[in-house]
Each structure stands twice: as C-alpha cells, then as structure tokens.
Amino acid sequence: MFNVGDKIVYPMHGAGTIDSIEEKDILGEKQAYYIIKMPGEVKVMIPTAKAEQVGVRNIIGKEEASKVMTILGENETEMSQNWNKRYRENMEKMKSGDIYEVADVVRNLSFKQKEKGLSTGEKKMLSNAKQILVSELVLAEHASQEEVEQLVDNKISVSFDEYKLPQEENVDVNKNIVSKFIPFNSTETDENL
C-alpha cells in the first residue's frame, strides 16, 4: 500500500507523486484509486487494489540512481539486427518497469541513433524510454528535468565516444610511409635508391 506523497513509478508512464487516494464510482463500482501527479501536470488514476499487479513501485534511491548512470556509461548490450525482434525485446524491457532495463534501452537506442539513425517507431520508443528514465531520476536526485536530461545526454555521448568512435592509433614516427621509400641510413649510396 502506498500513501499520499509517496513517489512512485508506473511502468510505461514514468515516475510521479501520489497526490491523493480517492474513492470513485465508475460504471456502478466503487473503488479506491491512487491519483498520481505525473510530469507535465498529467494525472493518472490507478485502482489501489491493482497497483502492485500493474507494476507500481517506489522510486529508486540515490544509490540506484548512481547505478543507472553507470549503465548509461557502459557499452551497448547486444540487440537483434531484426527490427521487429529488437522492438519487441526493448518493449518488454520497458514494460518490466525495471529502471536498469529502461536505462539499457535508452543507451542502446541512443547509440544506434548516433550510428545509423532510427526508424520512426524506434525514435518514439527512445523518446518514451528517456522520458520514463528522466522522470524517475528527477525525483531520485531532487534535480530539475533539464539538469537530468543534460546529465543523461552527456553520459551517453561520453560512452558512445569511448566505445564506438575509432580510437586513434599511436603512430610511430619512424614507421611512417615516407621512411619506407626514402632511405635514411647514411651508409646507403645513391645506387640503392
């Protein structure tokens, strides 16, 4: 059971605060509902009896938020090359309500967007996953949405640069292409050129 003022996560919708618990008569059936204030002044009603069944949970703490940032800083996990299969797998991760799975989707799709771009469906999925992730981190970190979005974007950019951009090879000055064609050994004569 949750209480008024609790900060909770509703899978596929994001994090919010329980504004009130009200009894409503819907289609002749009286039921108690959590009235949840979500980002953007949206309010959602969830029957109290079904809240845990639909995956409502308390938001993460600072320690878990730190682990989320670690996940965003890692290399992408393997995704199917088949668009439909990849979409279904990512959707399952998002439906799970597990913040670490959502972070995995955000990182993987962000990498893919930077590499090749995304289809319209995956762009929408990335946007939704990012909104869910950011809404929870805002409440966990007591930060503004802009600060958290910037933090997430920066973390993904740094990890993409680290794992996906070609690393500059150390160039040995003595083995450059010019030395292969022009002998620098003073004992060689012009005949050897």
pLDDT 10s digits, 87-138: 999 999 999 999 999 999 999 999 999 999 999 999 999 999 999 999 999 9
Average pLDDT of every residue of the chain: 88
- What CATH number is given to the structural domain containing 90? 1.20.58.1290
Burial (CB < 10 A; 0-12, 13-18, 19+), residue 72, is buried
Rounded to two decimals, the pTM is 0.82
Residue 169 lies in a domain: no
Angle at CA of residue 147, ends 145 and 151, nearest 5°: 115
Q: Does residue 82 surpass a pLDDT of 60?
A: yes
Q: Are residues 159 and 67 in the same domain?
A: yes
Based on the fold, state whether residues 51 and 73 are members of the same structural domain.
no
Pair (45, 92) in one structural domain: no
CA dist., res. 34 & res. 2, Å (int) = 8
Same domain, 69 and 159: yes
Is 13 within a domain?
yes
CA atoms within 13 A on the CB side of 60: 23
Parent domain of 48: 7-25+32-58
